[in-house]
Amino acid sequence: MQLIYEKSTPGRNGVRLPASDVPAAAALPESLLRTEAAGLPEVSELDLVRHFTILSQRNFSVDTNFYPLGSCTMKYNAKVLENAAALFAPFHPMTALLPQGAACCQGTLGMLYDLGQMLADITGMDEVTTQPLAGAHGEMTGIMLISAYHKAKGNKKKYVLVPDSSHGTNPASAAMAGYEIITVPTAPYGDMDLELFKKAMNSEVAAVMMTCPNTLGLFNPHIKEISDIAHSHDALMYYDGANLNAIMGKVKPGDVGFDVVHVNLHKTFGTPHGGGGPGAGPVGVKKSLIPFLPQPRIVMDGEGQFLLETANQLSIGRTANFFGNFGVMVKAYAYIIMLGRQGLIQVSEQAVLNANYIKEKLKAYYDVPYDMTCMHECVFSASKQLAHGVHAIDIAKYLIDKGYHPPTVYFPMIVKEAIMIEPTETESKATMDAFIQVMIEAAQVAETDPQALHDAPLTMPIGRLDETKAAREQNVCCQW
Ligand SMILES: *Cc1c(COP(=O)(O)O)cnc(C)c1O
């Protein structure tokens, strides 16, 4: 494909600009004026439309291809949810913050309040703030709440404890909030080692941050014992609920001892993601943490009116404007209402069934380092293929040629040559069967023609990149 600059023809133009209406007095100082023309491509409207349309078709998306990227929940999100968000656009809570105050947008505040209540019910928490704008932002907010809780109690706390299989954002958020990290290794049974956890636990631990099921897709059977031990040291339990489709309607984190939970609305609750679009990471807390929640906080008075609490000195303050990403909240609200309690349970059951189906079908071909019934995702290792010089990355690149987005590779880091597959609940058996077939084929090619895997991808505009060079010599400028 030609670059847009290569299509440039001097004098060609796709726009007709109106005469400038900026007063000459507003002109920039001489020193700031450009001395050479900007060198923009000179193209027609049609050239430009073709350029961007071709680029858009190069996107790999859930709407075009199977996208089993583990830990990311790249499921299909119904288009009707976008309609719901569009419908609510005129009711953005910006109006609530105008001088008229909360009285003028009771419907909007009510919707946000109800969504908070529904998420609190799903996670087993007492109250939810919708403010955080992403999962990592939710973690940061959650750890700040925990920090405020300990400060108010006069607790001297220094550490946050995380398992070594944790999502990288967990230790990063805890470190950003000022804590030192203690990492606990994974036991051969695939979960945080209980004995090592007991040894690591001490009275200076502020919180234990866990993903359950963890990034190996396994639900921790000792979770209640872990939270009891943590609580005996007045440490709080943080639940990373980014991928809630593993347990929704089945287990409430609050019931197994968690005190703080974030959920990713852009993974589980109706908002597509992956293109850097807006997400949301609402945070739920148990009663003891409610006083510290971000403000303005939506509360209901005795008459069913929604008010904004803004003057609580214990609050960690505002973490985002407009109660978070409003459009994403609308989609989550519509998603939960649309599916209902039974529907949400079915989502989890299907997500777990699909992941186990793929695990069972592929385990004769790929090593499964922790071979147990998994939850919403399964983790293989390409260690068998390594004997032929084939790495996880080679299989990932081969899948691109076959029309599949690669699974997550080399994560979780505790698995050598990890291949982490999350089919999600929205894929059909036929789609999974076709994918399984290609994965089997890749395992066979690894034995018979490893070079073919090293050469992939061959069907893409760009072939295999030197990833080490790209990481070491980052150049994000446009130099072709
Ligand atoms: C995606 C994910 C996160 C981070 O969420 P962002 O919205 O990308 O910040 C955290 N933990 C887990 C387990 C995740 O899968």
Torsion over CA of 365, 371, 375 and 381, rounded to 10 degrees? -50
Question: Looking at the chain, which residues constitute the CATH 3.90.1150.10 domain(s)?
Answer: 349-462
Residue 191 Cβ < 6 Å to ligand 1: no
| 3-state secondary structure labels for all residues of the chain | CCCCCCCCCCCCCCCCCCCCCCCHHHCCCHHHCCCCCCCCCCCCHHHHHHHHHHHHHCCCCCCCCCCCECCCCCCCCCCHHHHHHHHHHHHCHHHHHCCCHHHHHHHHHHHHHHHHHHHHHHHCCCEEECCCCCHHHHHHHHHHHHHHHHHHHCCCCCEEEEECCCCCHHHHHHHHCCCEEEEECECCCCCECHHHHHHHCCCCEEEEEECCCCCCCCCCCCHHHHHHHHHHCCCEEEEEECCHHHCCCCCCHHHHCCCEEEECHHHHCCCCCCCCCCCCCCEEECHHHHHHCCCCEEEECCCCCEEEECCCCCCCCCCCHHHCCHHHHHHHHHHHHHHHHHHHHHHHHHHHHHHHHHHHHHCCCCECCCCCCCCCCEEEECHHHHCCCCCHHHHHHHHHHCCCCCCEECCCCCCCCEEEECCCCCCCHHHHHHHHHHHHHHHHHHHHCHHHHHHCCCCCCCCCCCHHHHHHCCCCCCCC
pLDDT digits (tens, 9 = 90+) for 98-133: 656 777 789 999 999 999 999 999 999 999 999 999
Task: Name the residue at shortest CA distance from atom 2 of ligand 1.
Answer: 242
Question: Looking at the chain, which residues constitute the CATH 3.40.640.10 domain(s)?
Answer: 79-338
Kindly report the pTM of this predicted structure: 0.90
Which atom, in ligand 1's list, is nearest to the CA of 215? 13
Q: Identify which of 69, 71, 72 to mutate to test ligand 1's pocket (most ligand atoms within 8 A of the CB).
A: 71
pLDDT digits (tens, 9 = 90+) for 146-169: 999 999 999 999 999 999 999 999
Residue 169 Cβ < 6 Å to ligand 1: yes
Question: How far is Cα 90 from Cα 429, in angstroms, rounded to an integer?
Answer: 40
Whole-number Å distance, alpha carbon 22 to ligand 1 midpoint, is 46
Task: Name the residue at shortest CA distance from atom 8 of ligand 1.
Answer: 135
Residues 125, 286 contacting (CB under 8 angstroms): yes
Task: Name the residue at shortest CA distance from atom 14 of ligand 1.
Answer: 242
What fold does the segment set 79-338 form as a domain? Answer: Aspartate Aminotransferase; domain 2 (3.40.640)
Residue 167 Cβ < 6 Å to ligand 1: yes
**Mean pLDDT, rounded, for 398-407:** 97
Residue 240 Cβ < 6 Å to ligand 1: yes
Residue 243 Cβ < 6 Å to ligand 1: yes
Does 349-462 carry CATH code 3.40.50.1950? no
Whole-number Å distance, alpha carbon 448 to ligand 1 midpoint, is 38
Going by pLDDT thresholds of 50, 70 and 90, the confidence category of residue 292 is very high
Closest among 43, 36, 38, 40 to 15, alpha carbons compared: 43
Most confident of 90-94, 218-222, 390-394: 390-394
pLDDT digits (tens, 9 = 90+) for 43-100: 999 999 999 998 888 888 898 999 999 999 999 999 999 999 999 988 888 875 665 6
Question: Beta partners for 205?
Answer: 159
Residue 281 Cβ < 6 Å to ligand 1: yes
Residue 186 Cβ < 6 Å to ligand 1: no
**Residue 409: what pLDDT?**
97
Which atom, in ligand 1's list, is nearest to the CA of 134? 7
Going by pLDDT thresholds of 50, 70 and 90, the confidence category of residue 367 is very high
Q: Identify which of 169, 211, 379 to mutate to test ligand 1's pocket (most ligand atoms within 8 A of the CB).
A: 169
Going by pLDDT thresholds of 50, 70 and 90, the confidence category of residue 480 is very low
